[in-house]
Amino acid sequence: MLEQRIVGANSLPSIVPDLSPEELIRQLLPPPEFTAARFENYRPDANFPSQKAAVEISQQFVTGKKGKLFSKTEPTPGVYLDGGFGVGKTHLLASIWHAYSGKKAFGSFLEYTSLVGYIGFQTAVSELSKFALICIDEFELDDPGDTMLMSRLLKELSIKGVRFAATSNTPPNALGQGRFAAEDFKREIQGLGERFEIVSVDGEDYRHRDTHADSRNLTVAELQDWLGIQSDLYTSDFPELLKLLSTLHPTKFRRLIASVGAFALTNVYQLEDQVAALRLVAFVDRMYEQQIPIRTSGTVPLTKVFSETMLQGGYRKKYLRAISRIGALCELY
């Protein structure tokens, strides 16, 4: 049974985002949350010396002044920051981007693979080879097709002299298992990974977020009250949102939410379709980057939208990350 719809807010499904390939390339920038990220304002945890070491190695990567990997005969193609949630890897990646003086791009793994799918591999190589540095946040190793695509892309760009900085997406339950995802990375990036500087970043999630915590559903009246104190209000029925996302290429999700200041999602229910679930993960990633607060109503909280079968499957990392981010967005005001 459908709930009463929210009134007095813009409808997200009414937006028709459109982007040219040039605009897609131009939007490869750090999220607003990391606009001010610098090496100087990263705060290493004294209990985990690897964090301070990661800062130093990241700075060396930018300057190229120290370490055998920076020799003139064998320039390093990249640095790989490997660790769990909330240890500041993206802060360090954004710091590398800000400190680098050449032409540079910053995006998530999904943004790059989506870009290649949208504009074609050769066009992507041509456009991305114009950059001196490519920053890749949350390098994903759980989809063989995407991993092979990114491996091939990095090889092509490396031949053209492009350098890379990347982070991993290791979930909390994998901490303590050797070098996190480092060995997987070196294996999957078929030869090129061996030439990366692999940097483990140990530590606890400084946000102390629980990937298994529940967000709370509101009544329609509570949603109306919450929207009443927000600006740039948008809303959608959950089935309508899923339908909308199915019609859009993921490269357009960022443009879709460009004007959204707060988002109310009604009629949330648990998903059974994994394709729809993965689209929602990509949408949540873009929402999180822009730090857009969310409130929901429905039969399950938004943090319970992924079934237990999904959480135990091959895309577990993606779903755990999305749950963590949903929990954070549902607490924002």
* Structural domains of the chain in order of their starting residue, each with its CATH number: 10-20+208-329 (3.40.50), 46-201 (3.40.50.300)
Q: What is the pTM of this model?
A: 0.79
Taking the C-alpha atoms of 104, 106, 109 and 114 in order, what is their torsion angle to the nearest 10 degrees?
Answer: -80
Cα 122 to the center of its chain, rounded Å: 24
Q: How long, in residues, is the chain?
A: 333
**Side-chain half-sphere of 308: how many Cα atoms within 13 Å?**
0
What is the C-alpha separation between 277 and 247, in angstroms, rounded?
A: 14
What is the C-alpha separation between 54 and 66, in angstroms, rounded?
A: 14
Q: 86: which residues sit within 8 A by CB, 6+ positions away?
A: 203, 204, 205, 206, 207, 208, 209
Packing angle, helices 274-289 and 238-247, rounded to 10: 90
Tens digits of pLDDT across the chain (333 residues): 334 566 667 889 888 888 888 888 999 999 888 999 999 999 999 999 999 999 999 999 998 765 444 444 455 679 999 887 778 999 999 999 999 999 999 999 989 999 999 999 999 999 999 999 999 998 887 777 888 888 889 989 999 999 999 998 654 444 344 444 566 766 766 666 677 888 888 887 665 455 556 789 998 889 888 888 888 889 999 999 999 999 998 989 999 999 999 999 999 999 999 999 999 999 999 999 899 999 999 999 999 999 999 999 888 888 988 998 999 999 887
- Asked whether the beta carbons of 227 and 9 are under 8 A apart, the reply is yes
Q: Where are the alpha helices (DSSP H) in the chain?
A: 21-26, 49-63, 89-99, 109-119, 121-128, 144-159, 182-188, 220-227, 238-247, 253-256, 274-289, 308-311, 316-329
> In angstroms, how far apart are the furthest CA atoms of the chain?
67
